[in-house]
Structure 1
Amino acid sequence: MVIGGGAAGLNGALMLARSRRDVLVIDAGQPRNAPADGVHGLLAREGMPPLELIARGQDEVRGYGGEIISDEVTEARRDGDGFAVTTAGGRTVRARRLLVTTGLVDELPDLPGLRERWGRDLVHCPYCHGWEVRDQPIGILATGPASMHHALLFRQLSDDLMFFQHDQPDLPDDQAEQLAARDITLVTGEVAEIQIKDDAIAGVRLKSGSLIPRRVIAVASRLVARAGFLHSLGLVPLPHPSGMGEHLPADATGRTEIPGVWAAGNVTDLSAQVGSAAAAGALAGAQINADLVLAETRLAVANRSR
């Protein structure tokens, strides 16, 4: 069973279906990149609308006999040598192996205007959105240590950059010097809201009352794995070594600490883009198939020796 129907989940399901496995994908229909106009940095699919990419992937999985249902998994628990999965729609489904690809949630500062423009002119990734906002007045909203790195990356895309310190501690001298050297304006003072006008960002209003015009806001969101339904199995998201948020730990093949459970995509790799998430899903799908082959072979040998 695959829980989550994004790029990682569908590619994992594709690998399993092509290996003649019975595959069920359960997807809640809440892709993180749904507000974006297109998927970027994905060879041969550059600029494709995210929902179109998902629809094509679903068709491919179904073409090999995979099943996809729209529902949300609320609990996964051990059931004998497999798993029982319960959904919000009242289904209970049993599976021998689980591939978790539920992605993550972006936690944003509690400021008016931020969530409304998410994925449009409120962006988080210079590689996903940078070309589309090039040469525009960009504001970097500081949210933590990653924001400095964010600012330097976005400086590659625009000469008009402002770093809003907001409620963060004062920058160390070396970081302030870096901003100055790259002609990035440091704006002190707490931010009150992101001003919206005519369905677009107009600027950043400080608590002092000042409105500073900006067309784009970049923010390094806190990233948290969607994995609450795994608690019954003893799997809980842990702090990521990068400090970016919380992830579901897994090895390079996607195997978690719970036998029979794999994870791929953003639920375990917080910085994975669509291409790398899809590749990780394919690898995890192949590993699950190999694991099943070994289990089936052990059983066949045992039955033959009776």
Structure 2
Amino acid sequence: MIPDAQCYDVIVVGGSFAGMTAALQLARARRKVLIIDAGLNRNRMVRRSYGFLGQDGSSPDDFINNARQQLLKYPNLVWLDNVIALKAEKQDDGFIIATNEDKSYQAQRLVLAIGIIDKLPDIAGIDELWGKYLFHCPYCDGYELNEEDIAVIGTGHESIGKALMLPDWGKVTLFSNKVVHPDPSELKHLQARGVSINDELIEQIYVEHNRLAIRTTDQQIHRFKGGFLLPKTQLASPLAQQLGCEIGESAIGPFIITDESKQTTVKGVFACGDAARTTASISWAVGDGASAGIGAHQSLIFKDIFD
């Protein structure tokens, strides 16, 4: 039997942009809300975030901290910081979440804002530069490269699409890295966009004189203002699979399938943010979070529609 103090209307798993936005809608609907946050938001290594109206160029840490302080003004919201939701279980009267602190919490609805993990290629130096000199979203970070030289690190066939986009932001070199093999039609499109192709393997990536330096196995060093890659991804938590939510598979990794209200294929479980879509940005995360929070709230009222 779970004590009443550990029972909520909705539990939100994940305290980044999508999770906080979902929680805000629910708190303002005067529902009892619990946020369980592991503190591992995807862009935690980024210094500045761009492309979100009203916060263009702000620090993501400042953005998150300010939003959190606003949320904590609601007395019906509880935040568990640096806590991992290990297990989710569906029961007749709702859901149970067990954490790494050997505690369990119950709710009528769940919102999974669990995020994803980027699986970077095995290249020396890449981890240290991710989010600083290497990015995944040109709409978020392309403008600051000032139309200078840009590298695209090949991770698979999808890198061709990334390389075709990026000439709007600078002069592009696509490093195939032996995993990108454009067909004749794709080569024609790349050439038409002015994209250079380097077929040597990348040996190391580092920073030299505030420039991104890429050393290939022929010992040539290529320098750029910055670079982009499209890493493979994985869900940051197994909760969706534990609950039996249907999982889709995109070209870069799995995602939780939802309807327009952000409800998953398991009734009463909603999902939002990077874990529930194939494209990612703060703007989309916030929009998804609002939809999930409102959807979860309305499902508590209009049960015959959502069930």
TM-score, normalization by structure 1: 0.90
Does the residue aligned with 2:187 lie in a helix, a strand or coil? Answer: helix
Counterpart for residue 135 of structure 1:
147
Counterpart for residue 172 of structure 1:
183
Greater per-residue strand proportion: 2
Query: Is the 2:160–2:180 contact (alpha carbons within 8 Å) kept by the matching residues of 1?
Result: no
TM-aligned CA deviation for residue 201 of structure 1? 5.0
Q: Supply the AA of the counterpart residue of 1:44.
A: G
* Residue of structure 1 aligned with 2:35, choices 13, 25, 41: 25
Identity of aligned residues (%): 27
The separation in 1 between residues aligned to 2:38 and 2:51, in whole angstroms, is 25
Query: Is the 1:105–1:224 contact (alpha carbons within 8 Å) kept by the matching residues of 2?
Result: yes
Query: Is the 1:107–1:221 contact (alpha carbons within 8 Å) kept by the matching residues of 2?
Result: yes
The separation in 1 between residues aligned to 2:16 and 2:67, in whole angstroms, is 9
Counterpart for residue 231 of structure 2:
221
Does the residue aligned with 1:96 lie in a helix, a strand or coil? Answer: strand
Which whole-Å deviations, capped at 9, do the CAs of 1:168-213 have from their partners, x for residues lacking one? 2531112212222222211112222213446x55421112222222
Counterpart for residue 189 of structure 1:
200
Counterpart for residue 280 of structure 1:
288
Which whole-Å deviations, capped at 9, do the CAs of 1:8-49 have from their partners, x for residues lacking one? 111110110111100010111111111112221111111121
Counterpart for residue 121 of structure 1:
133
The separation in 2 between residues aligned to 1:147 and 1:252, in whole angstroms, is 29
The separation in 2 between residues aligned to 1:178 and 1:82, in whole angstroms, is 52
Q: Supply the AA of the counterpart residue of 1:294.
A: F
Counterpart for residue 259 of structure 2:
251
Q: Supply the AA of the counterpart residue of 1:172.
A: D
TM-aligned CA deviation for residue 51 of structure 1? 1.3
- Cα 1:294–1:184 change in 2 (3 A) is closer
Query: Is the 2:176–2:199 contact (alpha carbons within 8 Å) kept by the matching residues of 1?
Result: yes
**Mapped pair 1:209 → 2:226:** no
Does the residue aligned with 1:278 lie in a helix, a strand or coil? Answer: helix
The separation in 2 between residues aligned to 1:2 and 1:270, in whole angstroms, is 21
Q: Supply the AA of the counterpart residue of 2:43.
A: N
Which whole-Å deviations, capped at 9, do the CAs of 1:238-274 have from their partners, x for residues lacking one? 312xx13210111111111111100011111131311
**Mapped pair 1:43 → 2:49:** no
The separation in 2 between residues aligned to 1:95 and 1:20, in whole angstroms, is 15
The separation in 1 between residues aligned to 2:104 and 2:221, in whole angstroms, is 53
Query: Is the 2:240–2:256 contact (alpha carbons within 8 Å) kept by the matching residues of 1?
Result: no
Does the residue aligned with 2:41 lie in a helix, a strand or coil? Answer: coil
- Cα 1:135–1:234 change in 2 (3 A) is same
The answer to which of 134-143 and 92-101 deviates more is: 134-143
* Residue of structure 1 aligned with 2:158, choices 146, 149, 168: 146
Query: Is the 1:17–1:23 contact (alpha carbons within 8 Å) kept by the matching residues of 2?
Result: yes
Which whole-Å deviations, capped at 9, do the CAs of 1:41-93 have from their partners, x for residues lacking one? 11111112111111122122222221111111111112332111111122211
Counterpart for residue 8 of structure 2:
none
Does the residue aligned with 2:89 lie in a helix, a strand or coil? Answer: strand
Query: Is the 1:14–1:60 contact (alpha carbons within 8 Å) kept by the matching residues of 2?
Result: no
Does the residue aligned with 2:86 lie in a helix, a strand or coil? Answer: strand
Counterpart for residue 54 of structure 1:
64
TM-score, normalization by structure 2: 0.89
- State the superposition RMSD in angstroms: 1.8
**Mapped pair 1:85 → 2:97:** yes
Which whole-Å deviations, capped at 9, do the CAs of 1:80-114 have from their partners, x for residues lacking one? 32111111122211111100001111111111111
What are the ranges of 5 or more consecutive residues in structure 2 without an aligned counterpart?
A: 1-10
Counterpart for residue 269 of structure 1:
277
**Mapped pair 1:102 → 2:110:** no
Query: Is the 2:246–2:265 contact (alpha carbons within 8 Å) kept by the matching residues of 1?
Result: no
The separation in 2 between residues aligned to 1:233 and 1:149, in whole angstroms, is 34
The separation in 2 between residues aligned to 1:63 and 1:9, in whole angstroms, is 16
Query: Is the 1:194–1:201 contact (alpha carbons within 8 Å) kept by the matching residues of 2?
Result: no
